[in-house]
Amino acid sequence: MATQLDIQSIESRTETDVLEAFASGNVFNAPDSELYAYLNALCKTPFDNERIRHRVIIQGLTIGQLLMKNFASRLDRKNTLLTVVVIILATVSICAQLLHH
């Protein structure tokens, strides 16, 4: 759940911040909270120029893909940890069975 500080941080981003993040490449290493702030800035800014609007759509799609990549990475780490725990438990169970007989 977003705290008041998170909401203020999200609201403080502008379309210029998004442009700078893409120009510098920082958007590709930004944490999720920053990516959400960039998306918010793109969504709340009106774009009347068709050439700019297409760039903004591509930037929004790119940010969405980065958020999905981050989610998949977190899910993969959790799944790897769970797999290790299951292997350890299975090994302990097999050892216990062997010692019991």
What's residue 92's pLDDT? 96
Residue 80 lies in a domain: no
Reply yes or no on whether the pLDDT at 67 is more than 50.
yes
Distance CA 32, CA 14 (A): 16
Distance CA 55, CA 47 (A): 10
Reply yes or no on whether the pLDDT at 4 is more than 60.
no
Residue 87 lies in a domain: no
Domain that holds residue 34: 4-74
Q: Give the total number of structural domains in the chain.
A: 1
For residue 41, count other CB atoms closer than 10 A to its CB.
Answer: 22
Q: How confident is the model at residue 13 (pLDDT cuts 50, 70, 90)?
A: confident
Reply yes or no on whether the pLDDT at 89 is more than 50.
yes
Residue 41 lies in a domain: yes
Going from the C-alpha of 52 to that of each of 48, 58, 98, 101, the distances in angstroms are 8, 10, 69, 74
Residue 33 lies in a domain: yes
Mean pLDDT of 1-10: 55
Residue 84 lies in a domain: no
Is pTM beyond 0.95? Reply is no
